[in-house]
Structure 1
Amino acid sequence: MEPTRSERADAFTVLLYGLGAAVVVGIGTWLRGAAVFRDDGIAWVIPIDEQPIDATAESGAIAVEGIAQEALIFATDMSAGAVAAIIGSIALWALTALVVISAVMLVAFNFLRGRVFVPGNAWAFTIMGWVLSLAPLVIVALDNVARNGVLAAAGFGEGETVHPIEFWAAIPVVAGGIAVGLISVAFRRGIRLQKETEGLV
């Protein structure tokens, strides 16, 4: 089925946004890596006991008084496993975003060609569903390993195992992945229905 002018415009818009999003993911990944891996060590924010502080903002132009609840620390001599967990978390976050962006762009490209119920689109939604359902949970686990490594290197002990409540932050993305998976099922049924309809013609 030949797409309408409006549908072509929508598909082109998605493709352009996809390219822009891929660039943003690349820049964001580089900035995140630069923020964590510094000359002074691995930078990590940890919770601290509440205490009053006097600080400045805007390069010293503004004096600030408040209560500090977190502190940025620099850990050195971290275990190889903890460092690998940090790298893995950053890399998996970027890879997840790029896979989803690529899959969406593939669907938009197929729509642009008038190909809707085709195996490529079904596979794209399937991949998006699995990636969005699993990657956030793995990232949470990797971040926990990384945090424990930072705390151990800073002298806070071995840390704790990941608590189930920490996975709740990933639930919206996981739920989105499940929804996308259902869309892939709908596309597969649409493909079968299209083949059956063509066979009757």
Structure 2
Amino acid sequence: MNRNAKPSMLEAVALGVVATGAVSIAIGAGVGATTAAIEIFGSPVPVSLPVHEAPMEALADAAGVASAEYTQSLVSFDSLDGGTRWLLWGESALPALATIIVCMALWWLGLSLIRQRAFRNSMASVLGTAAVALVFAGMVAPLLGAIARAQVVEQLPSSEAGMFWMFLYQLDPAPIGWGIALALVATAFEVGQRLQKETEGLV
């Protein structure tokens, strides 16, 4: 293997664009988490609550419409306890943190490819950490949101609380699937690193 081999200009530019894009997305995720914190820890606090059995009367008699109902309601509160606010922010912050970790992993991968050192010792660990972050955020973030909304509904008058779900945990399998896929990539890099060491030992 020629360690001095350099990627072509086109390859270097493409990898540079990918690395730059990853950093930009990470910055955007950080800004989004900060914006969410300012909104959640300010006042009033807008909270999206899941609604059930709330018909949309405006479309009740519309031609071709079998049924229509609201599924979400945005309710703003003058005050919420600190624990609920932290849970709501955790729902936004965990995916943002996972995005930052994944983007930094992609940046490191792009930089390693540019330097022709894709199978460096740290690569499998970096990708594995990103995979765990994706799975963890995908499972825990909606749970934090569900708990926070349950606490919010408890603060509503009993006459109005019945239209909202007391506890609704909605799991999005997409981040978990991407995390598993990234874990497989990390495993492939681990195998590639081992094969590279064995090949170098034969030279």
TM-fit CA distance, 1:185: 0.9
**8 A Cα contact 1:152 1:159, kept in partner:** no
Matched with 2:55 is 50
- Secondary structure of the residue aligned to 1:28 is helix
Range with greater deviation from structure 2 (183-192 or 3-12): 3-12
If each structure's strand is expressed as a fraction of its own residues, which one has the higher value? 1
Measured in 2, the distance between the counterparts of 1:79 and 1:37 equals 10
TM-fit CA distance, 1:133: 1.5
**8 A Cα contact 2:36 2:89, kept in partner:** no
Is 1:173 the counterpart of 2:178 in the alignment? no
1:152 maps to amino acid: E
Range with greater deviation from structure 2 (77-86 or 31-40): 31-40
**8 A Cα contact 1:26 1:94, kept in partner:** yes
1:107 maps to amino acid: L
Measured in 2, the distance between the counterparts of 1:129 and 1:27 equals 22
Measured in 1, the distance between the counterparts of 2:178 and 2:73 equals 33
2:108 to 100, 106, 109: 106
Where does structure 2 lack aligned partners over 5 or more consecutive residues?
Answer: 59-67
Structural RMSD (CA): 2.4
* TM-score under structure 2 length normalisation: 0.79
Deviations 1:20-61 (A, max 9, x none): 212321332234345545533x211222622436xxxxxxxx
2:11 to 7, 13, 19: 7
Summarize the Cα distance change of 1:50–1:37 in structure 2 as closer, same or farther, 3 Å threshold.
farther
- Secondary structure of the residue aligned to 1:119 is coil
- Secondary structure of the residue aligned to 2:122 is helix
Measured in 2, the distance between the counterparts of 1:100 and 1:36 equals 25
Matched with 2:74 is 72
**1:1-201 superposed matches below 5 A:** 1=3, 2=5, 3-40=7-44, 42-46=45-49, 47=51, 49-52=54-57, 69=70, 70-155=72-157, 156=161, 160-163=166-169, 166-167=170-171, 169=172, 171-201=173-203
Measured in 1, the distance between the counterparts of 2:18 and 2:56 equals 48
Matched with 1:61 is none
Measured in 2, the distance between the counterparts of 1:12 and 1:71 equals 43
Identity %, equivalent residues: 25
**8 A Cα contact 2:41 2:85, kept in partner:** no
Instruction: Give the aligned length.
Output: 183
Measured in 2, the distance between the counterparts of 1:154 and 1:36 equals 18
Measured in 1, the distance between the counterparts of 2:122 and 2:174 equals 26
